[in-house]
Homo-oligomer: A and B are copies of this chain.
Amino acid sequence: MAGIEDVARAAGVSTATVSRALRGLPNVSDATRRRVLAEATRLGYVPTPSASSLATGRTRTIGLLTPWVSRWFFANVIEGAERALRDVGYDVLLHTFVVRRDEPRRRVDPDVLRHRVDGTLVVGLPLDDDEVRSLVGLDRPLAFVGSGPDDQVTVRLDDVATGYAATRHLLDLGHRVVGHVTGVPDLVSSWSPPAERSLGYVRALAEAGVDVDRELEANGDFDVEGGRASTAELLRRRPDVTAVFAASDEMAMGALLAARDLGLRVPEDLSVVGVDGHDLGEVAGLTTVAQDAYQQGADAALLLLEMVNGAPVPQRLTYPTELVRRRSTGPPRAS
């Protein structure tokens, strides 16, 4: 409840000096600063954010845009980013965008962010060019995690390499008819991870001299039920499939369910590999190409802060992945 004026009065200085002293600005004598600090503490003074925002234009808040919080990748990125930001006294404003199969999602509206954040972190949300432009138009730092336009600061995997690694693992085991459960049906942007993972898949097949067939790919919408349904569909179309590469662990878990539904043993009848390194992957015995989502969130947040502070930052941080072999993959049955 104490205002800056109370502190000023108590310390016998002006409000300007209090402001300077408390924010660690120069041009305040040590003695004065100590006195101000002491009085501020004693009175329990805390600056009113809206007042200082109004005066400075800064909010010490970062906007976090994401389609979900309850999925592995997103939850971990958010957690990593929030903690990194909190550590330096920044708040996180959470904005989710419902993304559904059929209906188009609500568009990203820069007006909701304007004057409300010092920067924006877009987590795994595919934006069209207009949306990106509108965020750029906020004239505040902008960074992407998981995927992002080529000309924006982005923290992500090498998704082509990731898809390649997963597929290659299956090929190395001897599989020759490999299905692919991918992420999204229609891409609003050209920089989508599922598209690139799919490219890696195709590349690995081609390199191995294996036929690539559109019938071997199906959309699993990045969730368990989608993975289950599309794997079932895949197996209906091509009963000779012996392995499936799913573009996320959650879809891969769906693939495991589909196998069980159909009475197929894993990995004897069907091998499954995912992407993520989901916490529960071990329980399911899921082979996966693992990534560190938490750290990507934290690093992206730090990058964004650098930008907020006007420091130069690398345009792109590419994270490593690691193949984790578990029970869900093995050599195909001898046919």
Q: Would A69 and B59 count as touching, CB distance under 8 A?
A: no
Say if the beta carbon of A75 comes within 8 Å of chain B: yes
Counted per complex, copies of this chain come to: 2
What range describes how many residues of A lie at the interface?
Answer: 35 or more
Question: How far is A64 from B114 in the complex, measured between Cα atoms in Å?
Answer: 21
Complex interface bits, A44-64 against B, C-beta within 8 A gives 1, otherwise 0: 101011110110000101001
Tell me if A82 and B69 are in contact (CB < 8 A).
Answer: yes
B59 touches A70 (CB 8 A): no
User: Which residues of the partner chain B approach A98 to less than 8 Å between Cβ atoms?
Assistant: 83
| Chain B residues, CB < 8 A from A61 | 93
Contact between chains at B91 and A283 (CB < 8 Å): no
Looking at the complex, which one of B46, B54, B114 makes contact with A51 (CB distance below 8 Å)? B54
Interfacial residues of chain A within 250-295, with CB under 8 A of chain B in the complex: 250, 253, 256-257, 279-280, 282-284, 294
In the assembled complex, 17 residue pairs joining A and B whose CB atoms fall closer than 8 Å, in A order, are A46-B115, A49-B50, A49-B115, A50-B54, A50-B115, A70-B279, A71-B75, A78-B94, A91-B94, A91-B116, A92-B94, A224-B279, A224-B280, A250-B280, A257-B282, A283-B284, A284-B284
Interface of A with B (CB < 8 Å)?
44, 46, 48-51, 53-54, 59, 61, 64, 68-72, 75-76, 78-79, 82-83, 86, 91-96, 98, 111-112, 114-116, 224, 250, 253, 256-257, 279-280, 282-284, 294
